[in-house]
Amino acid sequence: MSRFDLSLLEHAPRVPGKPRHKTREVRVGDRVIGGQNPVAVQSMTTSDTFDVEATVKQIHALEEAGCELVRVTVPKPEDAGALSAIKGRIGIPLICDIHFDYKMALAALDHPVDKIRINPGNINKANDPTHDRFRQVVRKAKSRGIPMRIGVNAGSLERDLCEKYGFPCPPAMVESALRYIEVAESEGYHDIIVSLKSSDVLVAVEAYRLFAQLADYPTHIGITEAGKPPYAVTKSAAGLAPILLDGIGDTIRISLLGDPVPEIAAAYDILQATQRRVRRPELIACPTCGRLAIDLEKIIAELEQRLSGRRLPVKISVLGCVVNGPGEAREADIGIAAGNGKGMVYRNGEEVRRVDEKDIVEALMEEVARWESENAGKIAAANPTRPGELEGLGRRKLPVVAG
């Protein structure tokens, strides 16, 4: 008889993971945000928006990296004037970003943008209970059929909310978002996405959790002003992983100092690690400890090269010792436990053959081909509009997005 309450374990889920927070869908260009749609990856240009050539060049680089929505800042009339030219030369939805001047929001909405992002806290006239400036933007966005991101930021929260709560804390941020949602809804406008950003990881996490308890609008998640890599990536992962694991988040941006292109890979890595969006095989390898008995670094490098570009939700485990190797290999869809020049190949938890070290990579690639062939029908049928998007195909139930 155990002194521990084992009933807790008996009733715990065998396969962990929370479902996505149920949100309404909002169309942004040719993408749909929210619902059960994949978490979309976005970034923001650093060029002067009115410099069309430089801005388009940067957007093309972001597109090549896998960016799915892009935001450009519009602080001046010449920036608004460039939006049509930029939109005509890119292949992903274009978002215009507005701060302070509501007239710039109105000007930007005269152009073919796919979404507008505003921070209501810094565009409204002080002590205006009617929120007239925000209402003007909402009315025009509604008339143009353009969705809006209400971007609440801890660094620019309204004074009355700071006074009410004492400082820009999560409850204050969430009340700010709800305030402007209600104003928009009073205008019959519901094409809304919400962000609750802070440079403080704990504040951001709790703000998104609180908001998810109160509203069903999709959220754009990020840790703002994260700083310079590599710490900024670590900080973003620390803040966004808890949110994603809770099932919260419909679009994501990793805010890095400098060139925005690395933001894309960082976002996909975080989505992959939290199993919210898997776009490539999950490759597991043991650390290089004293038990390592094969050239694991060489094997992993060759596998990464051979698997580059493959959109498969398969979990592959490559272990180089006999301590944890067999158990870990059995847990994956495909695995190998190796040592002293030999390797045991596992498929769905069962040992299927033994190979020499020199043949390990080829043997694993043969198993990958077999796995892909066996699941080809499921991959093709998963989503007719975006082939390859599916949930739970692999033995370990990894979600995947092939696009």
- The residues spanned by each domain of the chain are 26-273, 282-381
Residues of the chain with pLDDT under 50: 383-393, 395, 399-403
Q: Taking the C-alpha atoms of 371, 374, 380 and 382 in order, what is their torsion angle to the nearest 10 degrees?
A: -80
pLDDT one-digit tens code per residue, 225-253: 888 999 999 999 999 999 999 999 999 99
Contact between residue 142 and residue 189 where contact means Cβ atoms under 8 Å apart: yes
Q: Where are the beta strands (DSSP E) in 133-217?
A: 148-153, 192-197
Average pLDDT, the chain: 88
Query: Which distant-in-sequence residues (6+ apart) come within 8 Å of 161 by Cβ?
Result: 168, 172, 175, 176
282-381 — its CATH code? 3.30.413.10
Place of tokens 């050539």: 53
pLDDT at 362: 93
pTM for the predicted model, two decimal places: 0.90
pLDDT one-digit tens code per residue, 35-65: 989 999 999 999 999 999 999 999 999 999 9
Environment class of 26 (CB within 10 Å of its CB; exposed 0-12, middle 13-18, buried 19+): buried
pLDDT at 313: 82
pLDDT at 387: 41
User: What CATH class is the domain 26-273?
Assistant: alpha beta
pLDDT at 403: 45
pLDDT at 388: 41
